């Protein structure tokens, strides 16, 4: 497979360590349950399914001294991202805040973001695609730290041997539901 050249527009409004990062957050209801999104300047930083309390704890543990403020109506510029959260078959090509990730993690996330809806790649295929064929476990670790599941569709990455693999944002059952919604034959995945 060719090496990935997809670029991710990275935005990060982090301030010096002495100050706090202020992020707004909102929720949207989906067929998979509530999805929460933390953002600044219409740029997503974190996305997660499930409990709002767990989401807020996760964001604040990931970004020390982060100040979260609830917004009922997110800005208009974020509407495309919200449409993609409501229907994971849509692709989001807007900016993402990934400056806190390592260059390797950003490379893995860019390759993952390029996987078309309804298709899957194995961890090994993704590692080979980014030119690091021996970094299969490191790819899995990078995906396990994906701050923007659904916008960066890590549920489309499966284990070798037709195994479903892990999913950090709701477990294997959620991964199975997301893939089925996209038309993947999940019965063939153990």
The token pair at 140 is 């899995």
Tokens 């038309």 -> residue: 183
H/E stretch holding 39:
strand 33-40
Residue among 36, 68, 67, 31 at smallest CA distance from 49: 36
- For the chain, the first-to-last Cα distance in angstroms comes to 25
**Which pLDDT score is estimated for 131?**
97
The domain defined by 103-188 carries CATH number 1.10.10.10: yes
Instruction: Give the model's pLDDT for residue 59.
Output: 94
Which residues on neighbouring strands pair with residue 23, listed in sequence order?
68
Cα separation, 167 vs 155, whole angstroms: 6
Look up residue 78 and give its DSSP letter: G
Starting from the edge strand earliest in sequence, which strands make up the sheet with 43-49, in order?
Answer: 43-49, 33-40, 22-30, 67-70
Enter the tokens of residue 114. 């390029």
- How high is the pLDDT of residue 6? 32
Query: Where do runs of H (alpha helix) occur along 63-160?
Result: 79-86, 103-113, 123-129, 136-144
Residue ranges per domain, the chain? 103-188
Task: Determine the pLDDT at residue 10.
Answer: 41
The ranges of the chain with pLDDT < 50 are 1-19
The answer for residues whose C-beta is within 8 angstroms of residue 28's C-beta and 6 or more apart is 34, 35, 37, 82, 85, 86
User: Please, which residues bridge with residue 48 across strands?
Assistant: 36
| CB proximity list for 17: less than 8 A, separation 6 or greater | none
Backbone dihedral region for residue 26 (phi beyond 0: left; psi -120 to 50: alpha; all else: beta): beta
The CA distance from 167 to 176, in Å, is: 9
């Amino acid at each position: 497979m060719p090496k990935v050249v997809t670029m991710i527009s990275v935005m990060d409004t982090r301030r010096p360590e002495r100050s706090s990062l202020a992020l707004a957050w909102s929720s949207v209801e989906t067929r998979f349950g509530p999805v929460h999104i933390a953002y600044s300047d219409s740029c997503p930083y974190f996305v997660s399914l499930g409990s709002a309390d767990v989401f807020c704890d996760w964001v604040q543990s990931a970004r020390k001294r982060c100040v979260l403020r609830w917004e009922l109506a997110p800005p208009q510029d974020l509407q495309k991202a919200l449409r993609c959260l409501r229907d994971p078959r849509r692709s989001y090509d807007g900016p993402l805040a990934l400056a806190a990730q390592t260059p390797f993690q950003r490379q893995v996330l860019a390759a993952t973001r390029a996987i078309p809806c309804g298709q899957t790649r194995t961890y090994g295929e993704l590692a080979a695609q980014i030119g690091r064929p021996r970094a299969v476990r490191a790819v899995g670790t990078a995906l396990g730290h994906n701050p923007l599941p659904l916008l960066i569709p890590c549920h489309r990455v499966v284990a070798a041997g037709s195994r479903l693999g892990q999913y950090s944002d709701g477990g294997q059952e959620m991964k199975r539901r997301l893939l089925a919604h996209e038309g993947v034959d999940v019965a063939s995945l153990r």
